[in-house]
């Protein structure tokens, strides 16, 4: 039955307890153990039943209980301590204020999902968790940043497995009145709304706010009476529906997000697109600039792309959203009209080849073309991305494609156990969560007594065993398993056994069943009575990924059908942030088995490492960098080889896992000193903490984005905006002129006095004569590229690249004079190229004008 009206009823808190509401409505509590304790003390059962949601906890507590707490001096003192620390945190200056006092920076961070806490299910996996950690670190550092996303009525799905082991999805509706979100209101107290044009009429979205420490996250919601049922479903579910629903969601995120910021009076100088989902913001930003500054498309795209940052997260081609041209044009016609481009030019914004009428419109291509800074999420992924998107940069070698990398990091306070936090506070210092980089205070890890570190770790393993038993019993009872199976589930795992954790999205390239390749060998490892080993797995497959679901089914089949695996190998359903914390805090080994180089970064191993867990991983994503820094901080599966025969690769790498477990990992774990401690294992734990925590934290990541992307991009953007976009107009006109003249530019002659035998330290002079074709000598940049040469005459990756200075110019010709420095022995070679040059040009290669000798 439909209701006439709806309204919210808020809990009535006694005056003494009013600080609880402020604490509940800022997800700062999600990374503060003492704040969580406050809500647990109110009502432990309500806290658990609410899925660790303080707003719902407060809403379900009786008036009598509140009255009791209002008279409880101990509770009030604890609450006041937490509240005081919370307000100190909010008002503190922070890293950005101290380092960039006069920078007028305003960053808007767009993402289709945000993983902040398990009780706010608007995330699916790694991309969202990374976005949530980005916001938390920005808050810690007092970075002037806002988040922009969508408010999903159902969020991502809950997972259960049926008796055959097949994944079943259940979508639960979110009750926003019971979550830490508030509706943004206009000056008259009405819900603030924005609209976006769709082919069948405008869609209207309200704006909600989540406070993430000092950072606001704004979420758009179309589930309002003003919209048709189809339009209300735009924010119905995350990653559901067909391509038409996806383009609607991405238009709402990019266009609606920009309009929401404008409606709230927020004018970002930098827009950060976390994946290509948000790339339509670049087109909306161009439209706004054209209308505000009376610019043409070229001028406006120069002015706005200067302020865009794009992060790509996937080396898997299918992970880059593409739309059919007719679908794209049907939805983007209003913007096409505003920018005044024909079909070919407009579709070309999202195509590798603007002349290929059959090519789909790719959101990653759009983001790359309309951004000033682009990056992958690990060093290896940066290189892979350069190769993937090299077709956008004609005549540019792969290594020179202007895509760099900022390796991901994790928000340490969110992911470490209370036991580890206590040790860090005591032995490293209260600011350990902000300490990052090479010369950090993490060397103080050695001050932690071995006994204390090991006991803290053992407590977490014991709690993981208890948690696993409860979850497994619940799983078996839900699927009406025989009582004997339920009883067996209550006795799984051993609290002292070496425990391996594996949890992630079950995509085929992550190879969740690699460990099962030789079941006889695996059984032998797990069933060793003297040195037992056990495995805890978790993870969801995408609802439409049947191949991923088959992997989960295969794991369940083997667990159920092989007696030697029962009780030693378990699969926990409904993987979320809560389950993730339990696993990364409680296991001894974190296993990661992606097919290199398809893991862009991965962050679960970083979370595990922060808790003293050792990594056993393929050399892919972030682990390449960590293992290179210190091979003693964990174990590598294989040697980084990339195989064409995937079956052979699986065989080699599965055997590598078994070998490492049998010969190194298990013996090291069970080798105890006279006092019963695994001293060598503990030393490895400390080595991992020293190596990984200061580098692979979100504090380091956000500082790096600020220094390498946000500040330079903001300055570039401001320079082009100044004096009514004078810089953008000038640069646009200059580019058009150079493009018109470039084909006539010629290298007339290159003179290099090369001796028969050069010695290390020699300099070989080189002169390049250029026919300028009406360009000035200052409008080109002549580069000398030299270094070691392979057998085919190709320069290899350690090449030198130097700008050759102008020697003289006359009558449309110029001579540039430089030298090759023979800084190494062996076979060397050189080449010459010319690029456009302009002081206002941030990246010359973006013009895709390269003249090679």
How would DSSP label each residue in 748-811? EEEEE---SS--TT-EEEEEEEEE-TT--GGGEEEEEEEEEB-TTS-B-TT-EEEEPPEEEEET
The mean pLDDT value for 506-521 works out to 95
Q: Residue 715: CB partners within 8 Å, gap ≥ 6?
A: none
- Helix (H) / strand (E) element for 14: namely none
Q: What does the DSSP 8-state code read for residue 112?
A: S
Look at the alpha carbons of 557, 559, 560, 562 in this order and tell me if their dihedral is positive or negative: positive
β-strands 145-150, 215-221 pairing: parallel
Residue entry with tokens 């460990």: 515
- Helix (H) / strand (E) element for 688: namely helix 679-692
> Cα torsion at 500, 501, 505, 511 (round to 10°)?
-10
For residue 267, count CB atoms less than 10 angstroms from its CB and return exposed for 0-12, middle for 13-18, buried for 19 or more: exposed
Looking at residue 9, its pLDDT comes to 62
Cβ atoms within 10 Å, residue 337: 11
Q: Which parts of 401-482 fold into alpha helices (H)?
A: 412-415, 418-427, 450-478
In angstroms, the CA 830 to CA 266 distance is: 50
CB distance 207 to 218 below 8 Å: yes
The mean pLDDT value for 100-118 works out to 93
Looking at residue 341, its pLDDT comes to 97
Structure tokens at 56: 């719902």
Structure tokens at 71: 């008279």
In angstroms, the CA 796 to CA 378 distance is: 22
The mean pLDDT value for 344-364 works out to 96
Confidence category of residue 796, pLDDT binned at 50, 70, 90: confident
Rounded to two decimals, the pTM is: 0.96
CB distance 198 to 231 below 8 Å: yes
In angstroms, the CA 137 to CA 141 distance is: 6
CB distance 393 to 848 below 8 Å: yes
Cβ atoms within 10 Å, residue 546: 12
Looking at residue 826, its pLDDT comes to 82
Looking at residue 437, its pLDDT comes to 78
Residue 109: C-alpha distances to residues 135, 193, 371 (Å): 8, 20, 14
Look at the alpha carbons of 424, 430, 432, 433 in this order and tell me if their dihedral is positive or negative: positive
Looking at residue 10, its pLDDT comes to 67
Looking at residue 5, its pLDDT comes to 65
CB distance 603 to 127 below 8 Å: no
Q: Please check the confidence at residue 687 and state whether its pLDDT lies above 80.
A: yes
- Mean pLDDT lowest among 93-102, 177-186, 635-644: 93-102
CB distance 805 to 816 below 8 Å: yes
In angstroms, the CA 444 to CA 428 distance is: 5
Go through the chain and tell me how many residues it has.
853
- Mean pLDDT lowest among 131-140, 214-223, 328-337, 425-434: 425-434
Phi, psi of 233 (to 5 degrees): -80, -5
Task: Provide the β-strand partners of residue 634.
Answer: 615
Confidence category of residue 253, pLDDT binned at 50, 70, 90: very high
CB distance 159 to 167 below 8 Å: yes
For residue 550, count CB atoms less than 10 angstroms from its CB and return exposed for 0-12, middle for 13-18, buried for 19 or more: middle
Looking at residue 4, its pLDDT comes to 63
Phi, psi of 596 (to 5 degrees): -60, 135
- Helix (H) / strand (E) element for 197: namely strand 193-198
Cα–Cα nearest to 715, from 406, 262, 270, 99: 270
Phi, psi of 818 (to 5 degrees): -145, -160
Q: Please check the confidence at residue 2 and state whether its pLDDT lies above 90.
A: no
Confidence category of residue 417, pLDDT binned at 50, 70, 90: very high
In angstroms, the CA 809 to CA 818 distance is: 15
Structure tokens at 639: 């040697």
Q: Could you tell me how far CA 759 lies from the centroid of its own chain? A: 48
Cα–Cα nearest to 282, from 259, 303, 313, 305: 305
Q: Residue 137: CB partners within 8 Å, gap ≥ 6?
A: 143, 409, 411, 697, 698, 699, 701, 702
Looking at residue 793, its pLDDT comes to 79
Q: What does the DSSP 8-state code read for residue 120?
A: S
- Give the mean pLDDT of the chain: 94
CB distance 638 to 618 below 8 Å: yes
DSSP string covering 336-395, please?
Answer: HHHHT--HHHHHHTT-SSTT-TTPPEEHHHHHHHT-SEEEESSHHHHHHHHHHTGGGSTT
Looking at residue 695, its pLDDT comes to 95
Residue entry with tokens 């350990």: 432
The mean pLDDT value for 319-323 works out to 93
What percent of the chain shows pLDDT beyond 90?
A: 88
pLDDT tens digit sequence for 201-252 = 999 999 999 999 999 999 999 999 999 999 999 999 998 889 999 999 999 9
Residue 645: C-alpha distances to residues 273, 595, 641, 652, 848 (Å): 36, 11, 11, 11, 36
CA angle 128, 132, 136 (to 5 degrees): 170
Q: Which parts of 495-610 fold into alpha helices (H)?
A: 519-526, 546-561, 577-586, 604-610
Confidence category of residue 823, pLDDT binned at 50, 70, 90: confident
Based on C-alpha coordinates, what's the Rg of the chain?
29
For residue 329, count CB atoms less than 10 angstroms from its CB and return exposed for 0-12, middle for 13-18, buried for 19 or more: middle
């Amino acid at each position: 039955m439909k209701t006439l009206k709806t309204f919210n009823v808020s809990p009535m808190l006694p005056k003494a307890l009013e600080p609880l509401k402020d604490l509940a409505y800022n997800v700062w509590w999600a990374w503060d153990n003492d704040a969580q304790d406050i809500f647990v003390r109110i009502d432990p059962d309500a806290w658990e039943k609410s899925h660790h949601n303080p707003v719902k906890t407060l809403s379900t507590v009786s008036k009598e209980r509140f009255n009791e707490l209002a008279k409880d001096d101990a509770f009030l003192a604890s609450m006041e301590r937490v509240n005081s620390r919370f307000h100190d945190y909010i008002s503190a200056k922070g890293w950005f204020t101290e380092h960039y006092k006069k920078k007028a920076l305003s960053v808007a961070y767009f993402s289709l999902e945000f993983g902040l806490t398990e009780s706010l299910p608007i995330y699916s996996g790694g991309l969202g968790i990374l976005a949530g950690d980005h916001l938390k670190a920005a808050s810690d550092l007092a970075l002037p940043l806002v988040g922009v996303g969508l408010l999903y009525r159902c969020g991502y799905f809950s997972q259960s497995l049926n008796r055959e082991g097949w994944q079943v999805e259940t979508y639960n509706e979110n009750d926003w009145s019971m979550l830490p979100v508030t509706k943004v209101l206009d000056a008259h107290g009405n819900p603030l709304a924005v609209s976006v044009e769709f082919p069948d009429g405008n869609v209207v979205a309200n704006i909600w706010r989540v406070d993430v420490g000092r950072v606001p996250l704004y979420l758009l919601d179309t589930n309002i009476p003003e919209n048709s049922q189809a339009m209300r479903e735009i924010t119905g579910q995350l990653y559901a529906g067909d391509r038409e629903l996806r383009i609607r969601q991405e238009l709402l995120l990019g266009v609606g997000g920009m309009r929401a910021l404008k409606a709230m009076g927020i004018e970002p100088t930098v827009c950060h697109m976390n994946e290509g989902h948000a790339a339509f913001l670049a087109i909306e930003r161009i439209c706004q600039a054209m209308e505000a500054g009376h610019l043409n498309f070229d001028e406006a795209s120069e002015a706005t792309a200067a302020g865009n940052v794009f992060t790509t997260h996937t080396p898997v081609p299918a992970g880059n959203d593409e739309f059919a041209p007719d679908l794209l044009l049907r939805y983007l016609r209003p913007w096409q009209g505003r920018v005044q481009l024909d079909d070919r030019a407009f579709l070309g914004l999202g195509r590798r080849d603007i002349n290929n009428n059959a090519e789909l419109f790719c959101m990653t291509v759009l983001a790359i073309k309309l951004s000033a800074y682009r990056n992958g999420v690990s060093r290896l992924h940066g290189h892979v991305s350069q190769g993937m998107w090299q077709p956008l940069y004609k005549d540019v070698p792969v290594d020179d494609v202007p895509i760099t990398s900022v390796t991901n990091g994790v928000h340490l306070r969110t992911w470490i156990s209370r036991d580890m936090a206590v040790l860090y506070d005591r032995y490293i210092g209260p600011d350990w969560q902000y300490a990052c980089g090479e010369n950090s205070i993490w060397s103080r890890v050695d001050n932690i007594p071995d006994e204390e570190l090991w006991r803290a770790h053992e407590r977490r393993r014991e709690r993981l065993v208890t948690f696993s038993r409860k979850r497994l019993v619940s799983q078996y009872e839900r699927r009406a398993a025989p009582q004997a199976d339920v009883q067996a589930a209550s006795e799984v795992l051993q609290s002292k056994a070496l425990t391996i954790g594996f949890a992630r999205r079950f995509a085929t390239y992550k190879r969740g069943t690699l460990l099962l390749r030789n079941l006889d060998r695996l059984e032998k490892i797990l069933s060793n009575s003297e040195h037992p080993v056990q495995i805890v797995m978790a993870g969801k497959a995408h609802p439409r990924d049947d191949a991923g679901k088959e992997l989960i089914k295969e794991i369940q089949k083997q667990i159920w059908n092989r007696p030697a695996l029962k009780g030693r190998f378990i699969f926990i359903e409904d993987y979320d942030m809560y389950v993730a914390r339990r696993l990364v805090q409680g296991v001894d080994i974190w296993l990661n088995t992606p097919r290199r180089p398809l893991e862009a970064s991965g962050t679960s191993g970083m979370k595990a490492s922060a808790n003293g867990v050792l990594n056993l991983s393929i050399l892919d994503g972030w682990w390449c960098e960590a293992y290179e820094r210190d091979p003693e901080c964990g174990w590598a599966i294989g040697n980084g080889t990339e195989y064409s025969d995937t079956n052979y690769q699986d065989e080699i790498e599965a055997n590598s896992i078994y070998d490492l477990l049998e010969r190194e990992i298990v013996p090291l774990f069970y080798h105890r000193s006279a006092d019963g401690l695994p001293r060598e294992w503990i030393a490895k734990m400390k080595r991992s903490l020293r190596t990984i925590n200061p580098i692979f934290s979100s504090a380091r990541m956000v500082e790096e984005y600020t220094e390498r992307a946000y500040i330079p991009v903001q300055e570039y953007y401001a320079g082009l905006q100044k004096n009514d976009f004078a810089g953008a107009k000038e640069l646009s006109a200059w580019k058009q002129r150079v493009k018109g003249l470039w084909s006539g530019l010629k290298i007339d002659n290159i003179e290099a006095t090369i001796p028969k035998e050069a010695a290390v330290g020699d300099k070989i002079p080189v002169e390049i004569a250029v026919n300028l074709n009406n360009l000035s000598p200052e409008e080109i940049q002549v580069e000398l590229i030299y270094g070691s040469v392979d057998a085919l005459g190709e320069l290899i990756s350690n090449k030198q690249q130097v700008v050759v200075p102008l020697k003289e110019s006359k009558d449309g010709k110029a001579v540039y004079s430089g030298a090759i420095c023979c800084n190494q022995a062996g076979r060397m070679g050189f080449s010459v190229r010319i690029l456009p040059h302009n002081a206002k040009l941030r990246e010359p290669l973006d013009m895709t004008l390269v003249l090679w000798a």
